Chain A
């Protein structure tokens, strides 16, 4: 009930292409879905987040698409750049209160120049 499943585990995209990472959750009580970006040797950094009252949120080249009925959400990185090469984690939680994040397994993204 608490799981968040993330795919793919690794992804290679050419510079300028679109990177797509998918996540699915089980717990219908989840109502907050952040994405984190992590570079080697660093802590995860919040990239973008969405609440289920909208189906899409865009910030620069990063877009979250959300499908409440399917319990799925995805991250799209447009015009992918070598500097986007990192590990990406989706997460889910209830927004109010303790906000105990449940993370996906992570996706290692490599952007080839």
Chain B
């Protein structure tokens, strides 16, 4: 999994509660991403980061916020979870060099009741 860990791996929560998902990398890469995966939609970009405290929105950013206070950690927060945010969430990093492409973590399955 390219030195990427995600926590928690599974979470069940109730509508209206705040939720924070963590992505941790061990290889000091500049770019980190959060995607969500839903049947029929493939993966869709939520937010990404291009450095400490540098973040930007992706395709489906409404209802989500992110923070990156350290190079190795990228946090995704659902301020008030809704049932439509039930999904599998993947973190990714972009490696530099010749390959220079994205590698994904193992995912977090989130269920909002």
B41 contacts which chain A residues (CB < 8 A)?
A: 105
Q: Is A95 touching B100 in the complex (CB atoms < 8 A)?
A: yes
> How far, in angstroms, from A102 to B50 measured CA to CA in the complex?
18
B100 contacts which chain A residues (CB < 8 A)?
A: 95, 99
Q: B48-72: which have CB < 8 Å to A? A: 48, 50, 56, 58-59
Of A42, A99, A105, A106, which is within 8 A of B102 by CB? A99
A100 contacts which chain B residues (CB < 8 A)?
A: 33, 45, 48, 58-59
What would 8 more interface pairs be, CB under 8 Å, given A43-B1, A89-B43, A103-B43?
A42-B106, A43-B106, A46-B101, A98-B50, A99-B102, A101-B45, A102-B59, A103-B44
- Any chain B CB within 8 A of the CB of A80? no
Q: Is B104 touching A43 in the complex (CB atoms < 8 A)?
A: yes
Chain B interface size range: 20 to 34
Chain B residue with Cβ nearest A45: B104
For A6, A100, A105, which residue has the most chain B Cβ atoms within 10 angstroms?
A: A100
> How far, in angstroms, from A4 to B104 measured CA to CA in the complex?
20
Q: How far is the CB of B55 from chain A (nearest CB, A)?
A: 11
Of B1, B42, B101, which is within 8 A of A104 by CB? B42
- Any chain A CB within 8 A of the CB of B40? yes
> How far, in angstroms, from A49 to B41 measured CA to CA in the complex?
21
Of A6, A42, A98, A104, which is within 8 A of B56 by CB? A98
Of A6, A43, A99, A104, which is within 8 A of B94 by CB? A99
Q: Is B106 touching A46 in the complex (CB atoms < 8 A)?
A: no
